[in-house]
């Protein structure tokens, strides 16, 4: 654990709130810049069940204009969508000019839960894996900024959070049939994740891995990291210094040294 991670992990509630507010002010600057310059930003969040995607997205969008900010979390595809081009249901939700869209799971469902649970055929999976990077390159070529984050948690932490969902009456809405087999299929999800990283991590659309066992640390560092990537003249350079042991680009070595949960 790095010194910065230890400081963040041990921070009190008030220090966390102060740090979060400072970063949320930076996000407001980013949104003003986005609107002024007719930009489009798409942020994809992936990760295991209970990895903390909802919490990160909530803190990013909390003080942004709802007119120019959208959160997309699609449910089960309809029969019509199942017969359509796979990316079609997602294209309808892409950001337009002056918008920021945050996807709570995305087309990468095909590389994760659909692959593990057998919801797609081998042919459908392989077609997705060969077409997703060119698809994302088309988006970037059209002027869209695309950022991909994978929230990574340990097996023990996932088990603890899933149990908390079952006993907390305020979290009942988060429970899904997939939760019941998440731990059982841990190794299968790891294998699917690793294949996804290896085949869909590119120079134009890299995967950024977020160590998310500590929710507060993850939230602060994702926002800091996002601000380090975007071009925003008014941003505070001191606010864009994420801990590189918490948010880092995918590399094969991280699977071997277990920086990414096995």
In this structure, are residues 43 and 101 in contact, taking their beta carbons and an 8 Å threshold?
yes
Nearest to 218 by CA among 174, 138, 153, 160: 153
Sequential DSSP letters for 103-141: EES-GGGGGTHHHHHT-S-HHHHHHHHHHHHHHHHHHHH
Q: Which residues of the chain have pLDDT under 70?
A: 1-10
Do 246 and 221 meet the contact criterion of CB atoms below 8 Å apart?
Answer: yes
Rg (CA), the chain: 18
CATH of the domain at 91: 3.40.50.300
Beta bridge partners of 145: 41
For residue 262, tell me if it sits in a domain. no
Query: How many domains, in total, are found in the chain?
Result: 1
User: What pLDDT score does 178 carry?
Assistant: 77
Q: What integer pLDDT is reported at residue 169 of this predicted model?
A: 81
Asked if residue 261 belongs to a domain, the reply is no
- Domain membership of residue 30 (yes or no) is yes
Position 48 in a domain:
yes
Query: 234 lies in a domain?
Result: yes
- In whole angstroms, give the CA distance from residue 117 to residue 178: 9
Domain annotation covers residue 61: yes
pLDDT at 10: 56
What integer pLDDT is reported at residue 237 of this predicted model? 86
Q: Which of 50, 83, 79 has the alpha carbon at shortest distance from 183?
A: 50
> pLDDT tens digits for 80-128?
999 999 999 999 999 999 999 999 999 999 999 999 999 999 999 999 9
Count how many residues are written for the chain. 262
Residue 9: per-residue pLDDT: 55
Closest residue by Cα to residue 220 from 11, 19, 12, 5? 19
- Per the DSSP assignment, residues forming a β-bridge with 72 are 103
Closest CA to 87 of 121, 119, 110: 110
Whole-number Å distance between alpha carbons of 204 and 207: 10
Measured in whole angstroms, the distance separating CA 142 from the mean position of its chain's CA atoms is 22
- Are 140 and 204 spatial neighbours (Cβ–Cβ below 8 Å)? yes
The alpha carbon dihedral of 256, 258, 261, 262 has a sign of: positive
- Phi, psi of 16, deg, nearest 5: -65, -45
The answer to the question of residue 226 being in a domain is yes
Is residue 113 a part of any domain in this protein? yes
Closest by CA to 247, choosing from 220, 234, 235, 238, is 220
Quote the domain boundaries for residue 42. Answer: 3-256
pLDDT at 174: 76
**pTM of the prediction?**
0.93
Q: Are 144 and 38 in contact (CB under 8 A)?
A: no
């Amino acid at each position: 654990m790095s010194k910065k991670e230890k400081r963040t992990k041990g921070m009190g509630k008030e220090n966390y709130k102060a740090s979060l507010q400072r970063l949320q002010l930076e996000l407001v600057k980013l949104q003003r810049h986005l609107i002024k310059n007719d930009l489009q930003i798409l942020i994809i969040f992936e990760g295991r069940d209970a990895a903390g995607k909802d919490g990160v997205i909530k803190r990013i969008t909390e003080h942004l204009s709802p007119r120019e900010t959208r959160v997309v979390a699609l449910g089960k595809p309809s029969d019509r969508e199942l017969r359509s081009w796979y990316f079609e249901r997602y294209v309808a939700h892409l950001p337009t000019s002056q918008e920021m869209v945050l996807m709570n799971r995305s087309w990468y469902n095909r590389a994760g839960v659909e692959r593990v649970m057998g919801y797609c055929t081998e042919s459908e999976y392989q077609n997705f894996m060969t077409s997703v990077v060119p698809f994302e390159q088309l988006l970037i070529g059209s002027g869209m900024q695309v950022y991909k984050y994978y929230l990574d948690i340990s097996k023990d932490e996932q088990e603890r959070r899933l149990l908390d969902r079952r006993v907390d009456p305020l979290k009942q809405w988060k429970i899904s049939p997939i939760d019941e087999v998440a731990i059982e299929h841990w190794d299968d999800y790891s294998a699917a994740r690793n294949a996804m990283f290896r085949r869909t991590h590119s120079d134009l659309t890299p995967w950024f891995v977020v160590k998310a066992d500590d929710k507060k640390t993850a939230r602060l560092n994702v926002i800091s990291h996002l601000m380090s990537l975007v071009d925003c003249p008014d941003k505070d350079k001191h606010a864009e210094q994420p801990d590189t042991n918490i948010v880092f680009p995918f590399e094969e070595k991280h699977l071997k040294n277990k920086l990414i949960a096995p």
